[in-house]
Chain A
Amino acid sequence: NAGVTQTPKFRILKIGQSMTLQCTQDMNHNYMYWYRQDPGMGLKLIYYSVGAGITDKGEVPNGYNVSRSTTEDFPLRLELAAPSQTSVYFCASDYTGQYSPLHFGNGTRLTVT
């Protein structure tokens, strides 16, 4: 039981490049989330999904896209990377979407230069 797995662990992008951050969970959780963590700012929700085929915007969605074709996978797409997207990205999942603990992956450290 691996929990939430994120790849890659690290990535450096040039301005304007695109990439996909991968996230997969093996706990059969319906709810999945993408957060970014910046120093002194706390975790901010980018997008979330309540099940396969259903996604919705969080607090800071601009510059990102997501899809959820299966229960297990929730990739985050960055189009036209900008320096402001330099951050640590965390994927999380939970069972009920309400009053249940979030299970986090170990993050992807992204630098855009």
Chain B
Amino acid sequence: QKEVEQDPGPLSVPEGAIVSLNCTYSNSAFQYFMWYRQYSRKGPELLMYTYSSGNKEDGRFTAQVDKSSKYISLFIRDSQPSDSATYLCAMSALDNNDMRFGAGTRLTVKP
């Protein structure tokens, strides 16, 4: 079993849809949770981060962490074609050198 599981998709939605992206994990020591966005042929860039459980909102993006279920989510409201990218979840227990990444979900938002 992988330490971090993420459905690779691909996921295709119409413009304006609400998108839900998810990851599950097995290591209960993880306490810092991140979402990175990766455009084609580019490096990942940080989108959202949360510490421990709870919700965090930034514009059209909401990150949720449920440590009791070992489940994290990223919601995108009013999705735009420019949101088309691969979304990577990442998490660490203490330092960035122990960070674990999900395989990434490829999202396409169609105009």
| Chain A residues close to B by CB (< 8 Å) | 4, 31, 33, 40-45, 48, 56, 58, 90, 92, 94, 97-102, 104-107
Contacts and interface: CB of A to CB of B under 8 A. Distances in A.
Chain B: number of interface residues, binned into ranges: 20 to 34
A42 B101 contact: yes
A104 B43 contact: yes
Contacts of A105: 43
Contacts of B45: 104
Nearest to A105: B43
Given A42-B104, A99-B96, A105-B43, 8 more contacts: A4-B43, A40-B8, A40-B103, A41-B103, A42-B101, A45-B97, A100-B96, A102-B36
B94 interface: yes
B96 A106 contact: no
A99 B51 contact: yes
B49 interface: yes
B18 interface: no
A107 B41 CA distance: 8
Nearest to A101: B46
Interface in B29-65: 32, 34, 36, 41-46, 49, 51
B32 A42 contact: no
20 contacts: A33-B96, A33-B97, A40-B8, A41-B103, A42-B4, A42-B101, A42-B104, A43-B88, A43-B101, A44-B101, A45-B99, A48-B97, A56-B97, A58-B97, A90-B44, A98-B95, A101-B34, A102-B46, A104-B44, A106-B42
B50 to A, nearest CB: 11
Nearest to B6: A42
Contacts of A100: 96
